[in-house]
Amino acid sequence: MPRGALSPLGETVYFTDRGIEELVERRGEESVTLEWVGEQLRNFVDAHPEFETPIERFATWLARGDEDDEE
C-alpha cells in the first residue's frame, strides 16, 4: 500500500491523489470522449512502456464498470 501524507485537514492523501487533484484543477471544466482518453492512454504507454500492465488493468476496470463489483 502506498504511503500517504496528512493533508492540512488531517486526512490521508496518497501520492496519486495529488495527480488526480491537479488533473481536476487544470482540466476539470473540459469535456472529453472515451476515444480521446484511450488515445491518451496509448500515448502514455508508448512513452512509458513500464506502465503497460497498470494502464491495461485501469482501462479494463473502466470498461467493465460495476460488473466485477458483484462478485
Give me the average pLDDT of each 10-residue run along the chain (71 residues): 54 71 91 94 97 96 77 51
Give the pLDDT of residue 8: 59
Alpha helices (H) in 1-71, listed in sequence order:
15-27, 34-47, 52-64
Give the pLDDT of residue 2: 47
55, 57, 19, 22: which is closest to 39 by C-alpha?
A: 55
Instruction: Indicate yes or no: pTM above 0.85.
Output: no
Give the pLDDT of residue 1: 37
Query: Is the separation of the CB atoms in 14 and 21 below 8 Å?
Result: no
